[in-house]
Structure 1
Amino acid sequence: MATLNLTIALPPTLLLPLLLASMVLLPATRQMGLRWAPWAAFPGLLLAIATPDASLVELPWLLLGSRFAIDDTGRLFLLFSAMLWLAAGFYARGYLASDPRRHVFTAFFLVGLSGNLGVCLAQDAASFYFAFALMTFAAYGLVVHERHAEAQRAGRIYLIMAVLGEAALIAGLLLLAASAQTHLLPEMTLSAAADAPLLAYALLFVGFGVKAGVPCLHMWLPLAHPVAPTPASAVLSGAMIKAGLLGWLRFLPLGEVAVPALGTLMLSLGLFATFFGVAIGLLQRQPKTLLAYSSISQMGFMTLAVGAGLLLPEAWPALLPAVGLYALQHGLAKGALFLGLGVAQRYSRQGWLIAGLLLPALALAGAPFTSGALAKSELKTALSGLPSFWPELLASALPLAAVGTGLLMARFLLKTPYGSQRDQGDSSDRGDDRVKLLLPWLALLAAMLVLTWMHADAGTVAAVFSSQGLQSTVWPAAVAALVAYTAWRADWRGPAIPPGDVLVWLEQAATLPRVPAAPRRQSKTALATALVAVSRIRRLEETLRSWPLAGALWLLALGALAAALLAT
């Protein structure tokens, strides 16, 4: 097979999406940019397939000195991310065909694509952070594209969480770089492994955890998915959410030293997320929201695997391929479900369409003979060496989580609005572009069916087809099917929990009761006093802003600094 030089492949991979984004914003080049925009992820896909191992490009003049490379982990993440962005790009061309603001969506889409691929290739902290931030803030434009009240609220919550996450992330990276005395990877992680403060790793956990949908940091996910256009939801849940996972893999000391406190926390939160996402998801009404909670649950499996690596470094060589395989399988399956939902809205309920949605749903549930069963089997084997009570707890909990995922997928299939033409996240009239939606979806389904099996080792495949492996996957699927059928026959609806769950509860708790009359008069007096104080402070600030006084204070500060330096 012919190979591709990284030096040649890197510029089109990262810069072509940005060039096309500029073109679609200029009226003179807009149509050409829109025509070529779906192909923007293709160089990244070629790079993932054809670039030799250990390829490296160093750019000393860029940022703090940038390094881009392709390793096994980055190749896998680049492969499924580029594939998903490519399918979503072609899908968006049909989905937004009649949207007058499709060029705005496309520009944000392309910028987010460049950032996501950059995250997969970056091998230094500065480039990684730049690409991660580029992807994060471009996604805001995808979330608010419809511009109605719910989209604006979801975008506001997303932006708040994103800024908090970026603040934690940059603080953690600076602490880690200061400890390691380098910003290059993997030297940064290796050098800091023994000496980095726990605070640095805690900040990185939070910063990347916002993107990965960790419980209590997840609130943006179920709000953003229902209002974003379907191709945006696919890349948000299938590719962008994995950037948080990749950040953990790059910067946490996995396989080097144990971080018991953080490892135990991630194991516990990951296990909690697998059930939390299912429990809240089962009480949702909209299929997109349901898929968002499914992503929270599925990311829980990967979070607990990373926690296991922090708890037991010697287990990481077995855990890393399991995490990568699970990320690949979930990314393609979840993307196929989102794109399939958009296809279903334009077709009546037909056997082939139901089968197309059933395949990724069964894969996520870990049903027998599916890619999900393969990923779960490898993960379960890798987790078996944990110390203390963890192996027994996980052996009991993970099959129950698989039952929950099966129930969640059954509810999704029952809630799919066949032939509705439109959902809350869609634009208005798009005409009949069903074929343009169908072909990318089918291509992604084919990739899901093939790629996970190609990346699994022979031992895992044999374990899945063994009698014990079949038994461990058959009974959760059978129990989920039985419970789902019983609930459907009984027309069970259950209580409704609004999307955002914790956020909504916090908003309700923050609502103040009506103030009685007497305290209200006291509050007015206090307010008047405060306004007088603010007025005086403002006059003082205006005085301080005057150039002579400001200059004198500046010279005084410099003098104090010089005196302090001389004293030392």
Structure 2
Amino acid sequence: MTAALLLLVPMLPLLLAVLVVLPGAERARSLVPWAVLPGFLAVVWLPEGAQAVYPWLMLGLELQLDATGRAFLLLTALLWGGAGLYALEYLRGDAHASRFHLFFLLAMSGNLGLVLAADAVGFYVFFALMSLASYGLVIHAGGAEVRRAGRIYLILAVLGEVALFAGLAMQVAAAGGLHFTQLAGAPLSPLSAALLVIGFGIKAGLVPLHVWLPLAHPAAPTPASAVLSGVMIKAGLLGWLRLLQLDGPGWPELGTLLLVLGIAGALLAAAAGVLQRRPKTILAYSSISQMGLMVSGVGLALLLPDHAEVLLAGVLVYALHHGLAKGALFLGVGVAERGRRPWVMAVLAVPALALAGLPWTSGALAKNALKAPLYEAPAPWAGTVETLLTVAAVGTTLLMARFLWRMWFVADRSEGVPGWRMGLPWLAMSAGAVVLPVFWPGDTGPGWSLIWPLGLGVILSVTLVRMLPSRRLPQLAEGDLVVPVERLVLVLIRVMSRSDLLWRGYGEELTRARFRLNWRRLRRRIAALEAGLSRWESLGIVFLALVVALYVSLLP
């Protein structure tokens, strides 16, 4: 029973993915929200430590449900199920709804599978399935801007997969086995550590590997944005929790790196998000900032191994809190597009204030859980990190104020009312910001360390509005660092195509052959290929064929 249920968690979405591309797929699409049911059953019924081995699949796939996996599986099932129900109405009338649900289910399968995977091969296959299938979600709407976002996402996703594969391979070689307990106990070389930081950091939006997030979130349909930000980016966080020996002797160098990058992301992303205009872009930068706080918690656990258990519990609470709140905010953007009633804005304010750390919400619970170990930590970590986290809290308040301000002016002013399929998951996730502290006891009271950053953020927000009556702030390009990189690449291409100096000395024939290359024609061909792959008939079949081929190749 345990083995069948664990395997059904990632396999049911795969089976439905086949059905939604068949003729008359309307009935199959209505089952998409139910694809997470085995995940919920596993969370409720299976005991901690439940595991199963499948020798006939993926070189001996191992699935396991431990305490960390249970928390992540609950969050993953909640958000994918809610977003799946939401998508049924959001995409009503969309001619390409079957294509969306195909990639939605494939990404769902990968996300659910990597949470349960207990071995390197299974984790990598599910991680790759989720990452590559998400490309189909990002480019669903089509258009030049969307294709650019998809192109950048795909480049970084492939780079991350290569780095992750190399890092995992090095760890497997060092450990002499595939199970995560063996990998976590194996020595971690500087090169494998760097590869794992890159591989997981791209997915987690770690600065400076974050540039795909502010582009992909506005491009993707709203239900896809909710799962991208709410759960998929946490796959990188889960990877670090699985592979790093956080309860061991500690690793100050790696811990310092993750702490610095995490805090830098929390602060810089908040500043960049305030300078955005589109609500979904603001939320994307907010996710980068919040993930930075979680990554800093992992870094502190490596620096302070005596406090690792408490810190990791705080990271788990923060992941649950952020997933529910951010999912509610993204779904709320789509609800507001159907009608800007005052109650819509009022409900949107609940998860926004929770992210800012309002007392008696999940935000207060998460922030206190992450800060609690710092009071017992030695200098200089206690004072320095607490101060930086407090500054980040002010930045989060500014971000949420900016988001609500922009939502008020860009939301549809009609009196339309969204249907229950959109409203129910949105309201449920919004309620999670209040309900989570009931099921996860902890300190949520109005401590001074929570109140004054929130109050200062509100004061700064009001001051900015009064100083800028035209409601305009300086604007930062979406994707920030990717813009100068794109310009540099274009300059290099032009230089290479116009200059013969690079090829001088290689022979006249080689020179002629190089200059015969027409860069403009090449770009047109690439665009045509990308447009062709964007059709679900071709890309969907190719993707399913790759999944089948990968499965066959891993059979013993």
Q: TM-score, normalised by structure 2?
A: 0.87
1:284 and 2:280 are equivalent in the alignment? no
Question: Bigger CA drift: 482-491 or 496-505?
Answer: 482-491
In 2, Cα distance between equivalents of 1:24 and 1:172: 35
In 2, Cα distance between equivalents of 1:530 and 1:113: 54
Aligned residues: 509
1:185 and 2:180 are equivalent in the alignment? yes
1:267 corresponds to which of 259, 263, 266: 259
Deviation at 1:53, TM superposition (A): 1.1
Q: Secondary structure at the match of 1:272?
A: helix
Question: Bigger CA drift: 261-270 or 487-496?
Answer: 487-496
1:484 and 2:484 are equivalent in the alignment? no
Cα-to-partner distance string for 1:28-55 (whole Å, 9 max, x where unaligned): 4x12211211211122122112211111
Q: Which amino acid is the alignment partner of residue 9 of structure 2?
A: T
Deviation at 1:388, TM superposition (A): 4.0
In 2, Cα distance between equivalents of 1:254 and 1:172: 18
Deviation at 1:434, TM superposition (A): 3.2
Distance 1:318 1:513, change over 3 A: closer
Deviation at 1:505, TM superposition (A): 2.0
Q: Secondary structure at the match of 2:450?
A: helix
Distance 1:515 1:316, change over 3 A: closer
Deviation at 1:399, TM superposition (A): 1.3
Which residues of 2 match residues 556-567 of structure 1 at below 5 A? none
Give the match for residue 353 of structure 1: 344
Deviation at 1:163, TM superposition (A): 0.7
Which residues of 2 match residues 331-410 of structure 1 at below 5 A? 331-350=323-342, 352-410=343-401
In 1, Cα distance between equivalents of 2:390 and 2:447: 13
Deviation at 1:526, TM superposition (A): 4.1
Deviation at 1:185, TM superposition (A): 2.2
Whether the aligned pair in 1 keeps the contact of 2:354 and 2:433 (CA below 8 Å) is no
Deviation at 1:407, TM superposition (A): 0.6
Q: Secondary structure at the match of 1:25?
A: coil
Whether the aligned pair in 2 keeps the contact of 1:201 and 1:252 (CA below 8 Å) is no
In 1, Cα distance between equivalents of 2:412 and 2:346: 20
Cα-to-partner distance string for 1:7-62 (whole Å, 9 max, x where unaligned): 2322331111111110011114x122112112111221221122111111111222
Whether the aligned pair in 1 keeps the contact of 2:111 and 2:232 (CA below 8 Å) is yes
Which residues of 2 match residues 362-511 of structure 1 at below 5 A? 362-416=353-407, 420=411, 434-456=419-441, 460-461=442-443, 464-465=444-445, 470-490=447-467, 491=469, 493-511=472-490
Distance 1:73 1:254, change over 3 A: same
2:99 corresponds to which of 95, 104, 112: 104
Cα-to-partner distance string for 1:512-562 (whole Å, 9 max, x where unaligned): 39999xx968659849946536869xxxxxxxxxxxxxxxxxxxxxxxxxx
In 1, Cα distance between equivalents of 2:324 and 2:482: 29
Q: Which amino acid is the alignment partner of residue 266 of structure 2?
A: T
Distance 1:475 1:291, change over 3 A: same
Whether the aligned pair in 2 keeps the contact of 1:329 and 1:372 (CA below 8 Å) is yes
In 1, Cα distance between equivalents of 2:55 and 2:257: 38
Cα-to-partner distance string for 1:140-194 (whole Å, 9 max, x where unaligned): 000000111111111110010011111110111111111111111223212x0xx
Distance 1:385 1:470, change over 3 A: closer
Whether the aligned pair in 1 keeps the contact of 2:314 and 2:366 (CA below 8 Å) is yes
Q: Which amino acid is the alignment partner of residue 258 of structure 1?
A: G
In 1, Cα distance between equivalents of 2:505 and 2:33: 56
Structure 2 residue ranges without an equivalent (≥5): 515-556
Q: Which amino acid is the alignment partner of residue 472 of structure 1?
A: S
Whether the aligned pair in 2 keeps the contact of 1:337 and 1:357 (CA below 8 Å) is yes
**Max Rg structure:** 1
1:222 corresponds to which of 214, 220, 225: 214
In 1, Cα distance between equivalents of 2:27 and 2:123: 30
In 2, Cα distance between equivalents of 1:49 and 1:291: 31
Whether the aligned pair in 2 keeps the contact of 1:366 and 1:402 (CA below 8 Å) is yes
Q: Secondary structure at the match of 2:62?
A: strand
Which residues of 2 match residues 175-214 of structure 1 at below 5 A? 175-190=170-185, 192=186, 195-214=187-206
Q: Which amino acid is the alignment partner of residue 250 of structure 2?
A: A
Q: Secondary structure at the match of 1:69?
A: strand
Whether the aligned pair in 2 keeps the contact of 1:308 and 1:386 (CA below 8 Å) is no
In 2, Cα distance between equivalents of 1:381 and 1:253: 22
Give the match for residue 58 of structure 1: 53
Deviation at 1:313, TM superposition (A): 1.7
Distance 1:531 1:385, change over 3 A: farther
Whether the aligned pair in 1 keeps the contact of 2:500 and 2:511 (CA below 8 Å) is no
Give the match for residue 552 of structure 2: none
1:19 corresponds to which of 10, 15, 25: 15
Give the match for residue 537 of structure 2: none
Cα-to-partner distance string for 1:188-225 (whole Å, 9 max, x where unaligned): 212x0xx3322212211110000000001101000000
Give the match for residue 157 of structure 1: 152
In 2, Cα distance between equivalents of 1:205 and 1:385: 28
Distance 1:291 1:523, change over 3 A: same
Cα-to-partner distance string for 1:253-291 (whole Å, 9 max, x where unaligned): 211132221111101011111111101000001000000
Whether the aligned pair in 1 keeps the contact of 2:317 and 2:366 (CA below 8 Å) is yes
Q: Which amino acid is the alignment partner of residue 217 of structure 1?
A: L
Cα-to-partner distance string for 1:345-378 (whole Å, 9 max, x where unaligned): 111231x212210110011111222110110001
In 2, Cα distance between equivalents of 1:311 and 1:521: 51
Whether the aligned pair in 2 keeps the contact of 1:328 and 1:452 (CA below 8 Å) is no
Q: Which amino acid is the alignment partner of residue 336 of structure 1?
A: A
Q: Secondary structure at the match of 1:217?
A: coil
Whether the aligned pair in 1 keeps the contact of 2:326 and 2:351 (CA below 8 Å) is yes
Q: Secondary structure at the match of 2:247?
A: coil
Distance 1:187 1:520, change over 3 A: closer
Give the match for residue 81 of structure 1: 76
Q: Which amino acid is the alignment partner of residue 263 of structure 1?
A: G
Percentage of matched positions with identical amino acids: 48
1:326 and 2:318 are equivalent in the alignment? yes
Q: Which amino acid is the alignment partner of residue 11 of structure 1?
A: L
Q: Secondary structure at the match of 2:142?
A: coil
Q: Which amino acid is the alignment partner of residue 178 of structure 1?
A: A
Give the match for residue 305 of structure 2: 313
Q: Secondary structure at the match of 2:30?
A: helix
Cα-to-partner distance string for 1:367-403 (whole Å, 9 max, x where unaligned): 2221101100010012344444221111211111111
Q: TM-score, normalised by structure 1?
A: 0.85
In 2, Cα distance between equivalents of 1:233 and 1:520: 41
Give the match for residue 133 of structure 2: 138
Give the match for residue 124 of structure 1: 119
Question: Bigger CA drift: 169-178 or 384-393?
Answer: 384-393
